[in-house]
Every structure is written in structure tokens, then in C-alpha cells.
Amino acid sequence: MALCLKQVFNKDKTFRPRKKFEPGTQRFELYKKAQASLKSGLDLKAVVQLPPGESINDWIAVHVVDFFNRINLIYGTMSEYCTEKSCPIMSGGLKYEYRWQDDNKYKKPTKLSAPQYMCMLMDWIEMLINNEDIFPTRIGVPFPKQFQQVCTKILTRLFRVFVHVYIHHFDSIINMGAEAHVNTCYKHFYYFIREFSLVDHRELEPLKEMTERICH
């Protein structure tokens, strides 16, 4: 029997503090609008489209933060099955391997285990979305010129979480009864990145067959 989303995604509440939007802000109102559309059962392709009169950067910012929260929780539900022993390399099957690089400790692409990669990734995204110079929350403060470029990098790396989960741990998701929820989250993510051309099509190759099957 399938568990409800709340039961599944509350199994590890301490996995990572979630970024929230401040009530009363434009970003919060946009977030509520996006959530209302999702819950209304509208076609996900329509849900991701930019509402008339809204800023594209605000719309992207809201979704990047929301996807971070959702994907972070999805990984958190099955992180006990993703260990140094089971996943010594961050990969998507035998064909794809993902190496970590940042501007601090890892100056060059470095081979990490999947749990290490995920930890570095979530810390890195959290640092970026809490950086006022990149994700400004104050009224009247503009987004930086490189904002969409930063979001592309975040979303590209979040896509790799889906790749790893679907290829290496989907049995665990099925056993938890969360398959439908993960699929819906993936479809929402996929339609969004395609709507605004935010992830290079070559990055999508590992899940191409599955995507063609569930994203009509």
C-alpha cells in the first residue's frame, strides 16, 4: 500500500533544514500560486509556464528553491541505502560518472562516493540560495547578471540526484510506496527545465528512455 507523501518525506526530518519563503513577500505569493496550481491537478506542462506579468527570474528562483527542498527530501528518504559501500562512486549506471568540483576544497573534478557527493551538493546549493547577492529577497534588489547561469548549474546537479536515485535506488523508493510521488516530482522538474531551457539536453541522456515513457 502506498504511503502518503507526508509520511514518506518526514522519515528523516533532520536531513537538512529547508529554505522557506518569508510570508508577505512577492516570492512567497509566487510560491503559493505555483503550489495552488500543482494541487489543482492542472497539466504539469501548463503549471510551469510563467504567469502573465511575473518576472522570469522570480519564477525561476521560486522553483529552484522548491526543487531543492523536494529533491533533498527524496534523497533523504533513501539515504540509508546509499552508503560508501553500496555507492563508492557518484554515478548513473555504468556509463555515467559525476565528479565534484567547487571553488573551495575541490578545485578540480574529484571522484567522490555518492553520499559524499550528495552532502557536498546540498551544502553548496544551500549556501547559494541563502546568499543575498545571488538570491536577493529584499524588495527592489535586482538579481545578478549571472543568476540564470547559476540556476542552470544548480538544476543540472539536482538532475544528477534523480539519475542516481532512479538507476541505483528505485527499488527502495518502490518499497516505500513513493514511486508515484517521485515520478510526479521528476515530471514537474523536467517540464520546468525544458520550458526555460535551463539544462543542456546532453545532461538528460541517462534518463532519456524513462523520460520518454512518463513525460508525454
What are the residue ranges of helices labelled H in the chain? Answer: 5-9, 26-39, 44-47, 56-78, 114-129, 147-168, 170-175, 179-195, 208-214
Contact 173, 78 (CB under 8 A): yes
* Nearest partner of 152 among 74, 71, 58, 64, judged by Cα: 64
Q: In angstroms, rounded to a whole number, what is the distance separating the alpha carbons of residues 50 and 52?
A: 6
Is the C-alpha dihedral spanning 198, 202, 206, 210 positive or negative? positive
Cβ within 8 Å of residue 37, ≥6 positions away: 46, 47
Q: Is 185 annotated as a binding residue?
A: no
Q: Is 87 annotated as a binding residue?
A: yes
Q: Is 169 annotated as a binding residue?
A: yes
Q: Is 168 annotated as a binding residue?
A: no
Annotated binding site: 82, 87, 164, 169
Q: Which residues are annotated as a binding site for Zn(2+)?
A: 82, 87, 164, 169
